[in-house]
Structure 1
Amino acid sequence: MFNLDNLIRPNIKALVPYSSARDEFKGEASIFLDANENSLGSPLTKWYNRYPDPMQWAIKEKLSVVKGVPPQHIFLGNGSDECIDILIRAFCEPALDNIIIVPPTYGMYEVSANINNVDIKKVPLTPDFQLDLQALEEAVDDHTKMIFLCSPNNPTGNSLNREEVEILLNNYFGIVVMDEAYVNFSRQKSYLLEMEDYPNLVVLQTLSKAWGLAALRVGMAFASKPIIDIMNKIKPPYNINQASQDLVLKALDEVEQVNEMIRVLVQERTKLEDTLPKLDCVLAVYPSDANFLLVKVTEAKKIYQYLLDQGIVVRDRSNVILCEGCLRITVGTENENVALLNALKFYIHNSN
């Protein structure tokens, strides 16, 4: 049975969080003499001399409407990477506990675990990029605090089988982190809808992909209030800067524009899925629910370098388990995608 209290590291239970000036202040005021800010303003604007809201309540209120999740169940991080790091720090005792990842998958789960001196168990996906439930069951031990899943998965692009994920959620009593960075491009429903049924579920999303706000570095974690409270206890006091908060608030008013961008990108993805297999250098294009394609090619490293020489940067994933010979190609604008296809045609012509 899931028991959050048994998962928290003892030092985190005992931790007294840093209390910032804005944490201690509630209500409205016109004179702020509490936080040792520069009262004269800044070279940019008067408002940037003040520390931002440490809990980002204005953003969470807007996100609550967009996502259908109460504000108290939302954590905002300096990118999803901060959410990942804080989860590991909260629940995994260094040099004792472990996490499970299912490669090929997003690399920061492993990096964050290594930074925190937490052991990593790797249970590879099946050849069709789905969960190996039996291997996962065998890998779990008394010190497995967390399993990281990514759906749609990076770098493969596919969504994980929902029934298999729910089997895992029903039978594993540690924390399951479902990373949904690419869910807006997917045919699948978000696991946000499952949170009430699974108190051990944490859903990660981001404003970097569909919302096009990668430069602002704002990631989101959705979970039960006790888990969110623990994450807030650990985070730096002002982890989302004021400029990012201001711009995110503006962007959240533009849901229709974001939906149109998603529609265009999915349309461009479909064009690439139809066109790339016709090229002699392309061996396979894997089905994708994301804004990228995993593409198996004849000579991955040579083609990667050739594209780089043409000023086109893709991701070489040929050394990643189950992705041998593959490049990961982000869906670009119509003109960028045409340029990519033309470059590959020239590569084929020059190779003959």
Structure 2
Amino acid sequence: MSILNVMWSGGSAFASVHKVHRQILAQVDPGTPVNTWLLKGDVRGCSADIGQSREWHLSSAQLKGKHVWTLLKPWLQRRFYQALKGTDVQVVLLDGLGTARALLPVLKKLPQLRAVVLFHGETRIKAADRTLLRQLPPAQLTVAAVSQTLANSLERDLQVPVVTLRSALDPTDFRSRLLSRDQARARLQLPVDDTPVVGAVGRLVGNKGFACLIEAFAKALEQRPQMHLVIVGEGQARTALQEQISRLGLRDRISMPGHLDDAATLYRAFDWVAIPSLEEGLGLILQEAVLAGVPVLTSELAVFREQLAQAGWYATTEDPNAWSAALIQAFDVAPGQVAEDQSAVLSPGGTWQEFCQAARSLLSCRQ
């Protein structure tokens, strides 16, 4: 018996999704083979190489059935069916709704296979999606989400039960990879001194809120002129963000080093980590920062309160004035104590054990 991990795409933009799947699949019995399908892209630039990987090299139009591909969807589904028929696959882990739309019609014809659809964030639900998810019996299909907040939202929209699998990281393994403060600052070409540094990590896209953070940082510099901001990540909003930085005259105060494969090792370069997202399914950056002993300042989202409760530091979403005030206040307190309080609430060790047990149950071949 084996498990098939089906990912929408490879590439650095999907690195956090692949990281979550790797953590989940690491919990299966050592003797259970796990292989991966990449529907788009290839394994370069991402951590998708779980077991043997098959690259399908499909386009979004093909997968979504757009234009002429509407007529050719049966052809594509036959390809998937032939690739699965006669294999020893028993459980198929599907990355989100797009992947589910492509594969569930095929799995309906293979009732011996059990499907787990894992949602990583909010998504636009159509009436056809509700119909699709109801076509497979509960014994064959499990819908799961990476946080309780997301699970509650999906249950309302999909009108099907949703299991919570709150993603977590192995604290011992994660901390063992961290660079020291001086090493991390040298890697990011930052001053190896007491310069106050705010870090942010994520794709450079609108819903990550980096434009708001940059504006807030500019305002905060009026009272904290020594601060430096580092935004680690890559994406389509880079040009707009760089233009904003230039317009504000902050090129010597804000660094944008791009996507870094070792970003998860660099948190100790920062005094605070800012997460100004407009929406998140979980926000793995929050967990990584807390594990590294760095306090986090987040936007006012329910999913962040789910994890940090009263120990969190929150600023109103998309409000530069609120974020500026929060940044100024952050450097009036001892960050070490805030980090300890946040770690106590997040409870990384206990959260990791709960995650491991839930992942093993979700992917069990004996259900």
Normalised by the size of structure 1, how large is the TM-score?
A: 0.34
TM-score (norm 2): 0.33
